[in-house]
Copies of this chain bind each other. A is one copy, B any other.
Amino acid sequence: MAGNSFGNLFRITTFGESHGGGVGVILDGCPPGIEITEEEIQKELNRRKPGQSDLTTPRKESDKINILSGVFEGKTTGTPLMMVLYNKNVKSEDYNNIKDAFRPGHADWSYQKKYGIRDWRGSGRASGRETAGRVAAGAIAKKFLSQQGIQFTAYTLQAAGIRCKEYLPEEIENNPLRACDPKAAKEMEKLVIELKDKGDSTGGIVECRIEGVPPGLGEPVFDKIEADLAKGMLSLGAIRGFEIGDGFSVVDRRGSENNDWRDESGFLSNHAGGTLGGITTGQTILFRVAVKPTASISVPQKAVNIKGEALTIETHGRHDPIICPRMVPVVESMAALVIMDHLMRQKSIMR
């Protein structure tokens, strides 16, 4: 249980640093017989990779996926899939200036305290590039689940202070923010570009809908669906909050307003976001995550070095002014890993 694995039956273990040999994942417990190609996985990875638009870092990363095991003649075999993205175009010298300094908002200092050693090149293990392995495994889960009618749709709901007013899923991939409302997206884009030009960054809210989930998934009492979703989401570096259904807005409500009533036609509302007692009801699962402003900015900042001395840090690397659009496929992937795992768990107790 060393911290780099997620899931029980459909279980991933990721590895790699941004400037080592590569990053990737072992997916263990994948059911046999799933048709999968590197191209299908690559498609998801391309949604995550840098350089997609003006709103993402122009940093070029080699995001080419290589499946080294577990697939034979185009199908999963039931044995572990090891998938790796080799690191290329790494400019470690860019990071020489932070070798002995701890950047604000980064894990530099806490890793040093934990391990007494850290790979300081490009955030090392704490790099967002680690999530590529999650997306690769998530792509397989999503494919399997989509064949059972389960769909994952994440999108930027709010960014730079602007909130979407409409939900137009077909528009999500048509704007660089991956927002669900093209009008709001335009405003967001303008504000983000302004911040980018100042070397600054902003945050946002990513929302995710999971449709078609059968009732009965989730385990009492600790492995509730929302508990595992929350863990999956908070395991992403930039996420500072999670809420399911109406989330924090329920706190001022009355019970008589918040309970989802029901008649012969089914549920009359979905304040709960698709679960009761941690177990799916068959309604749409809906959750949101708070994405912090990217920590990497080029504004001068107060920091300390390894000797504890104060200094001013200015990092002129290639960074994302907002991480939400690239977070969208990652959120979908983590959600898919959770649902896949629980689907398999539920199968194990059925006759």
Q: Can you add 10 more A-B contacts, CB < 8 Å, to A240-B245, A253-B293, A264-B304? A: A1-B29, A24-B82, A79-B220, A109-B276, A111-B277, A114-B216, A130-B221, A201-B256, A224-B234, A248-B290
Query: With A and B bound together, what is the CA distance between A218 and B237 in angstroms?
Result: 13
Q: Are A281's CB and B2's CB within 8 A? A: no
* Alpha-carbon distance A111/B330, docked complex (angstroms): 30
The yes or no answer to A60 lying at the interface (CB within 8 A) is: no
Interface residues of A in 281-304 (CB under 8 A from B): 281-282, 290-297, 299, 301-304
19 A–B contacts, CB within 8 A, in A order? A1-B9, A3-B223, A17-B72, A26-B26, A32-B116, A33-B115, A75-B117, A78-B117, A109-B215, A110-B215, A111-B279, A115-B216, A203-B252, A230-B231, A243-B290, A253-B292, A255-B293, A258-B293, A263-B302
Q: In the bound complex, what is the Cα–Cα distance between A81 and B263 (angstroms)?
A: 34
Chain A contributes a number of interface residues (CB within 8 A of B) equal to: 152
Instruction: Give residues 220-242 of A contacting B (CB, 8 Å).
Output: 220-224, 226-235, 237, 240-242
Chain A, 110-132, CB within 8 A of any chain B CB: 110-111, 113-119, 124-126, 130
A residues 177-210 touching B (CB-CB < 8 Å): 195, 200-205
Q: State in angstroms the CA–CA spacing of A95 and B193 once bound together.
A: 59
B16 contacts A11, C-beta separation under 8 Å: no
How far is A108 from B240 in the complex, measured between Cα atoms in Å? 32
Interchain CB contact (< 8 A) of A235 among B80, B204, B278, B282: B278
A310 to chain B, nearest CB (A): 4
Contact between chains at A3 and B130 (CB < 8 Å): no
User: Is residue A62 within 8 Å, beta carbon to beta carbon, of the partner chain?
Assistant: no
Partner of A233, one of B31, B230, B276: B230
Given contacts A242-B230, A302-B261, contact A16 B68 (CB under 8 A): yes
Q: Are the CB atoms of A15 and B255 closer together than 8 Å?
A: no
The answer to whether B200 and A256 have CB atoms under 8 Å apart is yes
A280 at the binding interface (Cβ < 8 Å): yes
Task: Give chain B residues whose Cβ lies under 8 Å from the Cβ of A47.
Answer: none
Determine if A212 is an interface residue (Cβ-Cβ < 8 Å). no
Q: Is A90 an interface residue (CB 8 A)?
A: no
Q: Which of B20, B75, B104 contacts A69 (CB 8 A)?
A: B20
Measured between alpha carbons, how far is A114 from B176 in the docked complex, in Å?
A: 40
Closest CB-CB distance, A239 to chain B, in whole Å?
Answer: 8
In the complex, are the beta carbons of A241 and B248 less than 8 A apart? yes
Q: Give chain A interface residues in 1-45, CB to chain B under 8 Å.
A: 1-6, 8-11, 13-17, 20-24, 26, 28-29, 31-33
User: Which A residues, 335 to 351, have Cβ-Cβ distances below 8 Å to chain B?
Assistant: 344-351
A91 on the B face (CB < 8 A) = no
Contact partner, A105, options B251, B276, B279, Cβ 8 Å: B276
Does A246 have its Cβ within 8 Å of any Cβ on chain B?
yes
Chain B residues within an 8 Å CB radius of A6:
222
A279 touches B244 (CB 8 A): no
Interface residues as binary, A145-173 with B (CB distance below 8 Å gives 1, 0 otherwise): 00000000000001111000000000000
Q: What residues on B are CB-neighbors of A216 within 8 Å?
A: 110, 113-115
Contact between B250 and A293 (Cβ–Cβ < 8 Å)? yes
Closest residue of B by beta carbon distance from A2: B29
A97 at the interface (CB under 8 A from B): no
**Cβ–Cβ contact A110 & B276, under 8 A:** yes
A278 to B77, Cβ gap below 8 A? no
